[in-house]
């Protein structure tokens, strides 16, 4: 009977910890944004403008005399990793869930808004001709 009770308590603790770990790990594994690879794969202006949905803006739009267009974009860089997710999970378990209460606000204040800045030149028909990632 004692073993059954100990097993039941251990099972309850594992389930409780899993409930605490799940949200922290999921949040740490992904943060919406664009990657340089995604920027390089865009083949239309609507694709580049669609990247602004991640958080960003067109910094400069300059029509040229020949009908072409040059635009400079700024979009949020994608963040998140498996290691970061694992660390959140360990901290959640090790602190019995206190990390979820304390860590989220701290991370929110400390997270930087890391951006990718890139320039796109369009031909007069509106097709991208040149994409240059300038930094971030």
Would you kindly state where each structural domain of the chain is located, as residue ranges?
1-30+82-112, 32-79+114-136
Q: What percent of the chain has pLDDT over 70?
A: 71
Least confident residue range of 27-31, 62-66, 72-76: 27-31
128 vs 44: CA distance, rounded Å = 6
Q: 32-79+114-136, what's its fold?
A: Beta-lactamase Inhibitory Protein; Chain:B, domain 1 (3.30.1450)
The answer on pLDDT for 34 being more than 90 is no
User: From the DSSP assignment, how many helices (H) and strands (E) are in the chain?
Assistant: 5, 4
49 vs 92: CA distance, rounded Å = 38
CB 92 within 8 A of CB 21: yes
């Amino acid at each position: 009977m004692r073993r059954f009770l100990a097993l039941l308590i251990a099972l309850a603790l594992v389930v409780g910890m899993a409930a605490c770990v799940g949200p922290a790990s999921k949040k740490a594994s992904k943060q919406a944004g664009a990657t340089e690879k995604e920027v390089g794969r865009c083949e239309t202006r609507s694709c580049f403008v669609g990247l602004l949905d991640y958080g960003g803006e067109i910094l400069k739009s300059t029509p040229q005399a020949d009908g072409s267009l040059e635009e400079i974009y700024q979009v949020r860089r994608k963040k998140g990793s498996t290691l970061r997710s694992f660390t959140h999970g360990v901290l959640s378990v090790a602190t019995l869930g206190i990390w979820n209460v304390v860590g989220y606000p701290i991370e929110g204040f400390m997270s930087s808004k890391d951006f990718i800045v890139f320039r796109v030149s369009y031909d007069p028909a509106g097709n991208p001709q040149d994409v240059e990632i300038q930094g971030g």
